[in-house]
Amino acid sequence: MFMEYDPAIYSRILTGLTLGFHILFATVGVGIPIMIALAEWMGLRKNDEHYRLLARRWARGFVVTVAVGVVTGTSIGLQLSLLWPNFMQLAGQTISLPLFMETFAFFFEAIFLGIYLYTWDRFKNKALHFIILIPVVIGASFSAFFITTVNSFMNAPQGFEITNGVLTNIDPLAAMFNPATPTKTAHVIVTCYLTSAFVLGMIAAYKLLKGNNHVYHKKALHMTMTSAFIFSIATVLIGDLSGKYLAEYQPEKLAAAEWHFETETEAPLIVGGVLDDDNNVSYALEIPYALSVLAHGDPGSEVIGLEEFPERDTPPLFVHYLFDGMVAIGMYLFAISGLYVAFSWWKKSWLSNKWLLRGIFIGGPLSFLAIEFGWVFAEIGRQPWILYGIMRTPEGATTADHVDSMLYLFIGLYALLGISCSLVLRRMYKHNPVEHELEQRGIESRGDRE
């Protein structure tokens, strides 16, 4: 039975579906270039063709995901105007600068990506080919930066005055570099790097679990897991700063995420649990003082509770599970990559341990799940506002008919894109296995030689 037609609800569902699908491709679109660059740089530094082949094969798959990302990214741009016309009418001039800069950054990336792919083996000096890749990495990361500043603005709007319901005296730079920008953009970019490292590491771990002990896969696993460990440390540090941002600028979002109902000092952190109708928490793990530390860096500091805010201005309490899931997966990725790095220094024989390889393999889909948890938490945790403190979400939505029909059409489109992308990638690598390419290029193919 279909729900009663409400254009605002259907607009939220369709936008959420588009963002949820696009974020998978946007994540690898930002993170894979830096992994390709690391692989090619290692190949140059060590004069090792295994690493250069890693870069070459990863780049092929990357192009396919970029193509899908372009389609879904375009959908988001169209949906902003079609589904959220009142929001765009109010804030469109303010966010136009980062939207334009994001497009420019993508064009910059795409142009050099095409040159990079075309010029393999065309330079006597291989370093020139690596240099062409640098603008791709910069363009991908800056594309993420600019588009994330739009979301930052929605969480911490500034750089304008409101006169009779209209934004005036607009300062696009002040709007773009708002208080949410440093932590939000840093968190988005570094988690893209972390997720991409784990996705590529997952592939190497899968090959090793299947008994393919070729040195190519071992080098891929070592490079991706070492990178992932560094990125996971950065993720933990930026996550801590993000908690402090929420405590200062969006305390109701932090309180909802932690089921913190009463303002108090020495506030504990609630992990897991079940909430009843009277806001009593059962079956949860309480970590003493941890919420005060997360919010203000001081175990004795005061943390504002939900009691301080009208219920109509607070986000739904299920965001607690999204927050917990995101943090739990982040800690898992930190632990499993740290374990790999420790074994690589201490006891190399343990690197082929099947449980370790299985843990790394599981980290691939978990890292994507953490991205989804984090993005949904960011959006739902801002509710009921589309523009925090200024415009509520239903006020920004279209009142047009047939948004439900658009939703069903886009579900079909995304299903087609997802299946097509998976089939293309699978056939691309299945019909050109790495062993065949190693043999073609005359690269050492025995699995027992480093």
Tell me whether residue 100 is in a domain: yes
Q: What is the DSSP string of 287-333?
A: ETTHHHHHHHS-TT-EE--GGGS-GGGS--TTHHHHHHHHHHHHHHH
The contacts of residue 114 (CB under 8 Å, 6+ apart) are none
pLDDT category of residue 80 using cuts at 50, 70 and 90: confident
pLDDT average, residue stretch 317-329:
92
Tell me whether residue 449 is in a domain: no
pLDDT category of residue 162 using cuts at 50, 70 and 90: confident
The total domain count for the chain is 1
Tell me whether residue 447 is in a domain: no
Report the predicted TM-score, pTM, of the whole model to 2 decimal places: 0.91
Tell me whether residue 252 is in a domain: yes
The contacts of residue 348 (CB under 8 Å, 6+ apart) are none
Report the run of H or E that residue 286 belongs to, with start and end: strand 281-287
In terms of residue numbers, what domain contains 358? 7-263+304-440
Tell me whether residue 278 is in a domain: no
Burial 350-387 (b: 16+ CB within 10 A, else e): ebeeeebbebbbbbbebbbebbbbbbbbbbbbbbebbb
- Are 154 and 80 spatial neighbours (Cβ–Cβ below 8 Å)? no
Average pLDDT, the chain: 87
- Are 109 and 143 spatial neighbours (Cβ–Cβ below 8 Å)? yes
Pairing of strands 391-392, 385-387: antiparallel
The DSSP code for 169 is: S
Sign of the Cα torsion 327, 328, 330, 334 reads: positive
The contacts of residue 84 (CB under 8 Å, 6+ apart) are 11, 15, 386, 396, 397, 398
Tell me whether residue 291 is in a domain: no
Tell me whether residue 268 is in a domain: no
pLDDT category of residue 90 using cuts at 50, 70 and 90: confident
Distance CA 46, CA 42 (A): 6
The DSSP code for 2 is: P
Q: What is the pLDDT of residues 393-419, one digit of tens each?
A: 998 888 888 888 888 999 998 999 889
Tell me whether residue 86 is in a domain: yes
Q: What is the pLDDT of residues 249-269, one digit of tens each?
A: 999 999 999 988 889 888 888
